[in-house]
């Protein structure tokens, strides 16, 4: 049943008609549990509250199915504005973004120009920018763009997904850049030709790439709500005599607040991934796919007076 629900929500996440309806009607139907607001001003208030509790943050202006230069440029301007707000309000936050929001599906020339504009703003204001990894169709382009930009900018990180067979090779490919990497299990529906279809294999590969990246000496963000993985990282910390300056844990806004607090209280850096914007639909469906139990919270949101 859980697998069926996961596939169902991943299917819904790609529905363009529902995406447009979601933009029109705003943060309803439980989305506010996972999304911090429709604009950076609303999100900044949440970030400040999160910072005051001792957490650090990365923000993501949500966007799906951008296929023209005008909308891509609007996303760029939003990211630059968010970077300026982070600096102005002294927020302890990074910025995460998707290359499709920057024009990846339009042209390589456009996405490279847009990314340089954002990274220049990040460099000016001391804000790190992380490129989120999307589906496998865009994986190779994302890797190539990251490597090219990393030659020019220090304030840049990216994401590797443990469910892809090639993730370990990606680590080897990126190691020369001494990269800042967020390691995740993966949240897209992929064919068994490119991704592990069995959860145990994904988990085993996740552990493998976490250990390898730490042994490589690269900064590692472990983005998971899985306590088995978290306990494994703690074991690695002791086994490898790791400094806590070399890694951090990351979790999604609105999910497992109890575990976030526990890790922070234990002295680990805990970064909360805070999305905002009115293009929340695809993101929200993928969160439900990751953990179908979240459907309960959505249903409560629908029927709450």
Catalytic residues: 132, 182
Q: How far apart are the first and last CA of the chain?
A: 30
* Closest to 55 measured CA to CA, from 83, 82, 93: 93
* Closest to 57 measured CA to CA, from 70, 46, 67: 46
* Closest to 290 measured CA to CA, from 219, 215, 171, 188: 188
Q: Strand ranges (DSSP E) for the chain?
A: 56-61, 93-98, 129-132, 156-161, 180-184, 220-223, 247-252, 270-276
* Closest to 213 measured CA to CA, from 240, 181, 187, 188: 181
Cα–Cα distances (Å) from 173 to 110, 136, 295, in that order, read 25, 17, 38
CB atoms within 10 A of CB 8: 14
**DSSP-based three-state secondary structure for 231:** helix
């Amino acid at each position: 049943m859980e697998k069926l629900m996961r596939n169902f929500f991943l299917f819904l996440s790609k529905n363009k008609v529902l995406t447009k309806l979601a933009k029109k009607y705003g943060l309803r139907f439980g989305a506010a549990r996972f999304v911090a607001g429709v604009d950076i001003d609303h999100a900044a208030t949440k970030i400040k509250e999160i910072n005051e509790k001792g957490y650090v943050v990365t923000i993501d202006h949500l966007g799906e199915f951008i296929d023209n230069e005008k909308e891509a440029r609007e996303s760029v301007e939003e990211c630059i504005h968010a970077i300026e707000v982070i600096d102005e309000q002294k927020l302890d936050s990074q910025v995460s973004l998707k290359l499709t929001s920057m024009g990846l599906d339009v042209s390589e020339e456009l996405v490279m120009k847009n990314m340089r504009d954002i990274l220049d703003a990040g460099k000016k204001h001391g804000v790190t920018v992380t490129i989120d990894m999307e589906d496998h169709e865009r994986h190779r382009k994302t890797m190539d763009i990251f490597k090219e930009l990393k030659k020019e900018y220090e304030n840049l990180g990216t994401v590797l997904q443990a469910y892809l067979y090639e993730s370990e090779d990606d680590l080897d490919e990126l190691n020369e850049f001494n990269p800042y990497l967020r390691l995740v299990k993966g949240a897209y529906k992929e064919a068994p030709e490119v991704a592990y279809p069995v959860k145990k294999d994904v988990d085993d590969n996740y552990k493998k790439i976490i250990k390898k990246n730490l042994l490589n000496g690269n900064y590692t963000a472990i983005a998971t709500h899985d306590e088995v993985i978290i306990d494994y990282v703690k074991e690695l910390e002791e086994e490898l005599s790791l400094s806590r300056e070399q890694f951090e844990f990351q979790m999604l806004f609105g999910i497992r607040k109890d575990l976030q607090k526990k890790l922070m209280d234990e002295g680990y850096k805990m970064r909360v991934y805070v999305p905002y914007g009115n293009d929340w639909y695809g993101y929200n469906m993928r969160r439900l796919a990751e953990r179908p139990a979240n459907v309960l919270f959505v249903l409560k949101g629908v029927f709450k007076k």
